[in-house]
Structure 1
Amino acid sequence: MGDLLGGGRTPRARLRELLAGPGPLLAPGAYDALSARLVEQAGFDAVYMTGFGTTASLIGRPDVGLLSGAEMVDNARRIAAAVDVPVIADADTGYGNALNVVRTVQLYEQAGVAGIQLEDQVMPKKCGHMSGKALIGTGEMAGKVQAAVAARRDPDLVLIARTDAVAVGGVDDALERARAYADAGADLLFVEAPTSEADVERVADELAGVAPLVFNWAEGGRTPPLSLERMTELGFALVLYPIGTLLAATAGIRSVLDTLRRDGVPPLEGLPSFGEFTDLVGLPEVQDLEQRFSG
């Protein structure tokens, strides 16, 4: 995981191979480099950089468009450098118009991510499972997708087009928009926040063959949780689990702090030892490199 000297096949080529596999690719969310390393260590083949988690971890605020593109790219760069598996990164709305999308794609590509997600909300955006969202026009978003396709320098960079239209204009509008984004060149389609299994099934049925599909298994969100077996039957190519790691970290930190405040000492049972943690973040590799290059 994330060897300092790196090497081997590019994560972008690997991501395309994984997406072409027989079942859905599972990508748990990571909000920083450490959580990304934990996702990789757990055996997953891809990491999803969550915008919700990035916002919460960097500024302790909700995902309502408060972070700049530069702040998101910086986090993506740190996460991509920490792991060897492909990183799919939230790029929100592209942070402006089609010209801004050109620069956003180039910056994310330079950061080392294997795929990015662009959405059709008005900026400032909101988390896809919040209320009060507003959308740009279908034609404007299609233009942004076209700009993203033209801007990428590596053709293996995966472009995901997300529509939030289900909550604003309904499923029919979402399907129409998704087809337009596929025509504009999106590699994957992401219909955000359908609120029933019947709507999920309709999305999967009507977009089958248009482009590979993304399912957002948003923990506690508006979309009903489906089993992996069902998502496989419906033909989803990519399943995101965006905030489970963030929620788990929040619960764990709260528990430690509650015990520390009550007892005056932190609980150690169930926590990794100091040595286990330093191994996790790569101390043995650093020590080996020190010996190798010590002269």
Structure 2
Amino acid sequence: MLNSSTTPSAKRTALREALRGSELLRFPGAFNPLSAKLVQRHGFEGVYVSGAVLSADLGLPDIGLTTLTEVAARSAQIARVTDLPVLVDADTGFGEPLNLARTVQTLEDAGVAGLHVEDQVNPKRCGHLEGKSVVDEATAVRRVKAAVDARRDPDFLVVARTDVRGVEGLDAAVRRAKALVDAGADAVFAEAMADLAEFEAICSALDVPVLANMTEFGRSDLFTHDQLRDAGVRIVIHPVSLLRLAMGAADRALAELSGTGTLAAQVPRMQTRAELYDLVDYAGYGDFDSGVFDFSLEGNRS
């Protein structure tokens, strides 16, 4: 009803178990708690919280302007409503290694299953844009070690993201990924791979799960889940897709409302009142307190 039916610890354990299997784990990005409930309803294996989505939701570019407090608050809201493990974009860790240690423990307290930390220089850039810079290997390794050492739950997943591919090429990215695994990373987020062959190369070079980012309008083609699985990828995120779809629909609807003065033609594309109430489990609250759910939708337009 109010919260997930399972505990953060159980979600982390379940994610670890799933990663020991052979199936691809699919993590669509949720832009709010309600969309996270939809992700679970449609049978996905996890929920992703994107830094790009959170910054956009605040009307900011994705250049490291969001704070740990903002990220942790939204992550906690999302983790609260879903039984799925939640993976969070922690950017560069919100500071130096000691800050990163605090980031890990704060996100543990938020109830998420794991985070990824990247090797970009601040101010960071979207991983699929030009103009990125990466820190040296020693700095990147210190970030990962700080995250691993700080966690209190050994099942909390620490994913090391490397943006080296877009700066120095594939061979350098493989070398960097190996160093991050040696530092204790549980998985590697290989950003901005050019094609499936590059995913295959990095997957075959590592003995930990590899995460692929299928973001629209980026450097990578939008490979299917079957293609990624065959290449050896174990986790795929679709970070901004739901936000892009929702904002595109909102933009078109507002244009129509401004032009015609009505949204009557858009109603068939809207989530109905009944669908919304079902998603938030209005009836479940009524089972707890009959004074809450004491109405009927009879007579409402479907």
Does the CA contact (< 8 Å) of 1:95 and 1:123 recur in 2? no
User: What's the CA shift for 1:227?
Assistant: 2.3
Q: 1:279–1:187: structure 2 CA closer, same or farther, 3 Å change rule?
A: same
Q: In 2, Cα distance between the equivalents of 1:292 and 1:188?
A: 48
**Aligned pairs, number:** 289
Once the two structures are superposed, residues 125-147 of structure 1 have per-residue CA deviations (whole angstroms, 9 ceiling, x without a partner) of 11111111111111111111111
Q: Who is 1:87 aligned against? A: 86
Q: In 2, Cα distance between the equivalents of 1:105 and 1:161?
A: 13
User: What's the CA shift for 1:68?
Assistant: 1.2
Q: Who is 2:17 aligned against? A: 17
Q: Who is 1:31 aligned against? A: 31
Q: 1:5–1:62: structure 2 CA closer, same or farther, 3 Å change rule?
A: closer
Q: Who is 1:230 aligned against? A: 227
Q: Does 1:252 align with 2:249?
A: yes
Does the CA contact (< 8 Å) of 1:3 and 1:83 recur in 2? no
User: What's the CA shift for 1:3?
Assistant: 4.7
Q: Does 1:41 align with 2:38?
A: no
Does the CA contact (< 8 Å) of 2:140 and 2:180 recur in 1? yes
Q: 1:108–1:5: structure 2 CA closer, same or farther, 3 Å change rule?
A: closer
User: What's the CA shift for 1:20?
Assistant: 1.9
Q: Who is 1:53 aligned against? A: 53
Deviates more, 1:176-185 or 1:60-69: 60-69
Deviates more, 1:186-195 or 1:36-45: 36-45
Once the two structures are superposed, residues 181-230 of structure 1 have per-residue CA deviations (whole angstroms, 9 ceiling, x without a partner) of 100100001110012333223222323xx211111111221012222222
Deviates more, 1:46-55 or 1:9-18: 9-18
User: What's the CA shift for 1:292?
Assistant: 9.5
Q: In 1, Cα distance between the equivalents of 2:281 and 2:121?
A: 41
Determine helix, strand or coil for the equivalent of 1:10. Answer: helix
Q: Does 1:218 align with 2:207?
A: no
Does the CA contact (< 8 Å) of 1:219 and 1:242 recur in 2? no
Does the CA contact (< 8 Å) of 2:4 and 2:81 recur in 1? no
Deviates more, 1:265-274 or 1:94-103: 265-274
Determine helix, strand or coil for the equivalent of 2:148. Answer: helix
Q: Who is 1:270 aligned against? A: 269
TM-score (norm 1): 0.93
Aligned residue type for 2:190: V
Match of 2:258 among 227, 252, 261: 261
Q: In 1, Cα distance between the equivalents of 2:30 and 2:241?
A: 9
Once the two structures are superposed, residues 217-268 of structure 1 have per-residue CA deviations (whole angstroms, 9 ceiling, x without a partner) of 1122101222222211121111111111111101111122122112212221
Does the CA contact (< 8 Å) of 1:51 and 1:92 recur in 2? yes
Identity of aligned residues (%): 38
Q: In 2, Cα distance between the equivalents of 1:286 and 1:101?
A: 39
Q: Does 1:152 align with 2:148?
A: no
In angstroms, what is the RMSD of aligned CA positions? 1.8
Determine helix, strand or coil for the equivalent of 1:168. Answer: helix
Unmatched 5+ residue regions in structure 1?
Answer: none
Does the CA contact (< 8 Å) of 2:4 and 2:80 recur in 1? no
Q: Who is 1:291 aligned against? A: 290
Q: Who is 2:237 aligned against? A: 240
Determine helix, strand or coil for the equivalent of 2:62. Answer: coil
Determine helix, strand or coil for the equivalent of 1:291. Answer: coil
Q: In 2, Cα distance between the equivalents of 1:60 and 1:271?
A: 24
Q: In 1, Cα distance between the equivalents of 2:104 and 2:44?
A: 25
Does the CA contact (< 8 Å) of 1:27 and 1:47 recur in 2? yes
Does the CA contact (< 8 Å) of 1:32 and 1:54 recur in 2? no
Unmatched 5+ residue regions in structure 2?
Answer: 293-302
